[in-house]
Amino acid sequence: MRYRFTVKDYHRMAEADIFDPDDRVELIDGEVVEMSPMGTPHGAVVARLTELFVLAVHGRAIVRPQLPMQVGDFSELEPDIAVIHYRANYYSDHHPMPPDDVLLVIEVAESSLRYDLDRKTPLYIAGGVPEVWVVDLVTDTLHVARGGKTVQLRPGDSVAPAAFPDLVLEVADILGPVG
């Protein structure tokens, strides 16, 4: 028999020091899951996207890199980037939750593409996230899920988040320079 943990259970486990401070885990649909280690290219893309979005949405939204976001009662994920509605208290009273708080989630996949596309993206969408991007570092592809469809974009293409149509980004700039 399997037990499905709630977000409250997950927080109680953390408070009871069940997890080592260095553990990289998320609660996904009631299951505590170890996150993939972050490679250097992955970290570079997260840093690049953080800077691009912070500069572009300053005063209009908050950019949260690798911070918790509650999706329903059974999931607390740490997306690589979450772009959320601006609040003066920066969500000091709760983690952001879709659909009210979240505008865009971005995951960067170096070794986790299938997991990010097949498990996490549907969970985000079902939870009310209006748009999810998955940056595939292996094939230099950006997967954009919104409005019930997923499109694949490559270098040479451009994209704008639905929440910020004025923010047009080149896929090549998201992926960054090679080497």
Q: What is the mean pLDDT of each run of 10 residues along the chain (179 residues)?
A: 91 91 90 89 95 96 96 95 97 95 97 93 97 97 96 97 97 84
Residue 164 token pair: 């910020």
Give the pLDDT confidence score for residue 37 in this predicted structure: 83
User: Does residue 24 belong to any structural domain of this protein?
Assistant: no
Measured CA to CA, the distance from residue 132 to residue 88 in angstroms comes to: 25
How many separate domains does the chain show? 1
Residue 163: inside a domain: yes
Structure tokens belonging to residue 140 = 């230099």
Q: Which residues form the domain of 77?
A: 37-175
CATH number at residue 51: 3.90.1570.10
Residue 45, domain member (yes or no):
yes
Predicted local confidence at residue 179, as pLDDT: 54
Domain assignment present for residue 169? The answer is yes
Q: Residue 84's CB: how many other CB atoms inside 10 A?
A: 25
Is 19 domain-assigned? no
Cα 43 to chain centroid distance, Å, stands at: 13
Q: How many whole angstroms separate alpha carbon 167 and alpha carbon 179?
A: 26
